């Protein structure tokens, strides 16, 4: 099993952690920036003031100024990101498939093999490097100082294809981050997984967190003793005897959530070299079948997972937005090949 990751991965595909707290009854009036400096480890006044300016600090669900004085009963929410600052991103002319764009946001269809943001082992050549170039060339009024991390609020794995939304303003970024946290964003994936299912659908509820021994991998903790809560709803789309095409709808967005949850229920994603899908899991291992599966691995040389649908409320207009990205060529060819194989097996049986 390959245990070297392509990049540093945060604990969540939703790239913002949220600190929530309620001000105690005995709290004296105090500027919110000073209060947060005393409560958040390693925080500087400059960083906190920047977060406040970018509407990443909310009091009673509304943005405030740095000179706001907290009072007993106030409910504070602070968004904190794992990803690199905009100033660390070098613009690079990398092609992007832009599905939609307006003054506040844009949606891209990421190809497989492209890392979302720089990290260990991938200092450049990422989606964010491409985004920085696009904004530099086509959005001269974009201010990277006002929109941290070029508006990235969520991610998908390097070898997962599909839809991503990025914000182009601080207001849009704050609103989208909140939608991801509130689990109101619609995310539907299509995957080819090993094995057949006894039912036409179901729900996997198991915490997802880092493996206790192999820290670069993630695993499921059904008892909830480690990791973070994670819920995946799945539905069978088509059965091919030894593999099944399913759709997975995320209720939470943990790192590798679908891949870990599918492995947890005995149906690893096809050709997933991290979680056991890169070998024959179902079917008799004989020469012709093994050759067929090896050919399938070559057709789709990555885990067969695609972020097909993305839906959210427009952060400025309030309009419902829904996007759909068709299966990429490698996955479509893979599924067609399994479909033909399944039909042939059914005919001779």
10-residue stretch averages of pLDDT, the chain, 349 residues long? 40 63 86 85 75 82 89 85 63 95 96 87 88 91 81 92 94 87 93 97 95 85 90 97 97 93 98 96 88 97 98 97 98 97 75
Q: At what angle do helices 287-299 and 329-348 cross, to 10 degrees?
A: 160
Domains of the chain listed by start with CATH number: 16-81 (3.10.290.10), 86-182 (3.30.2350.10), 188-306+329-348 (3.30.2350.10)
Rounded alpha-carbon distances, angstroms, from residue 82 to 14, 85, 136, 166: 10, 9, 23, 15
Q: CA-to-CA distance for 193 and 2, rounded, in angstroms? A: 19
Q: CA-to-CA distance for 74 and 153, rounded, in angstroms? A: 26
How confident is the model at residue 4, as a pLDDT? 35
Catalytic residue among 157, 272, 278, 330: 157
243-267 pLDDT per residue, tens = 999 999 999 989 999 999 999 999 9
Helix, strand or coil, per DSSP, at residue 345: helix
Q: What is the separation, in whole angstroms, between the first and last Cα of the chain?
A: 35
How confident is the model at residue 7, as a pLDDT? 40
Tokens in use for 11? 């604990």
Q: CA-to-CA distance for 134 and 320, rounded, in angstroms? A: 25
Asked if residue 223 lies in contact with residue 180, where contact means CB atoms within 8 angstroms, the answer is no
Helix, strand or coil, per DSSP, at residue 233: strand
* Pairing mode of beta strands 161-167, 305-313: parallel
Asked if residue 325 lies in contact with residue 100, where contact means CB atoms within 8 angstroms, the answer is no
Asked if residue 84 lies in contact with residue 93, where contact means CB atoms within 8 angstroms, the answer is no
Please tell me the pTM assigned to this model.
Answer: 0.82
Q: CA-to-CA distance for 9 and 157, rounded, in angstroms? A: 9
Please give the angle made by the CA atoms of 96, 121 and 86, to the nearest 5 degrees.
Answer: 55
Q: CA-to-CA distance for 12 and 347, rounded, in angstroms? A: 45
How confident is the model at residue 244, as a pLDDT? 98
76-117 pLDDT per residue, tens = 888 765 555 555 788 999 999 999 999 999 999 999 999 998
DSSP result, 145-164:
TTSGGGGB-B---TT-EEEE
Q: Residue 157 catalytic?
A: yes
């Amino acid at each position: 099993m390959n245990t070297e990751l392509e990049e540093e991965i945060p604990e969540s595909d939703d790239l913002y952690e949220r600190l929530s707290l309620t001000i105690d009854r005995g709290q004296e009036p105090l500027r919110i920036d000073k209060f947060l400096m005393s409560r958040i480890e390693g925080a500087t006044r400059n960083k906190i003031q920047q977060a406040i300016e970018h509407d990443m600090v909310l009091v009673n669900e509304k943005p405030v100024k740095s000179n706001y004085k907290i009072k007993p009963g106030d409910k504070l929410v602070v968004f904190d990101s794992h990803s690199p600052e905009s100033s660390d991103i070098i613009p690079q002319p990398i092609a992007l498939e832009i599905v939609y764009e307006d003054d506040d946001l844009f949606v891209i269809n990421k190809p497989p093999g492209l890392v979302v943001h720089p990290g260990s082992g991938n200092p450049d050549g990422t989606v964010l490097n491409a985004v920085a170039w696009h904004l530099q060339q086509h959005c001269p009024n974009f201010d990277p100082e006002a929109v941290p991390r070029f508006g990235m609020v969520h991610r998908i794995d390097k070898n997962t294809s599909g839809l991503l939304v990025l914000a182009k303003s601080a207001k849009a970024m704050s609103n989208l981050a909140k939608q991801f946290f509130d689990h109101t964003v619609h995310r539907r994936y299509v995957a080819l997984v090993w094995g057949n299912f006894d039912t036409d659908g179901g729900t996997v509820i198991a915490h997802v967190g880092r493996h206790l021994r192999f820290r670069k991998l993630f695993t499921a903790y059904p008892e909830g003793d480690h990791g973070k809560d994670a819920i995946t709803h799945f539905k069978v789309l088509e059965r091919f005897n030894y593999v099944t095409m399913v759709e997975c709808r995320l209720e939470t967005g943990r790192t590798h959530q679908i891949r870990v949850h599918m492995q947890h229920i005995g149906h690893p994603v096809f050709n997933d070299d991290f979680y056991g899908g890169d070998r024959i899991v179902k079917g008799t291992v004989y020469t012709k079948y093994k050759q067929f599966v090896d050919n399938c691995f070559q057709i789709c040389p990555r885990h067969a997972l695609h972020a097909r649908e993305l839906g959210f409320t427009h952060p400025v207009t309030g309009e419902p937005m829904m996007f759909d990205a068709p299966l990429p060529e490698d996955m479509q060819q893979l599924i067609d090949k399994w479909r033909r194989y399944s039909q042939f097996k059914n005919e001779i049986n």
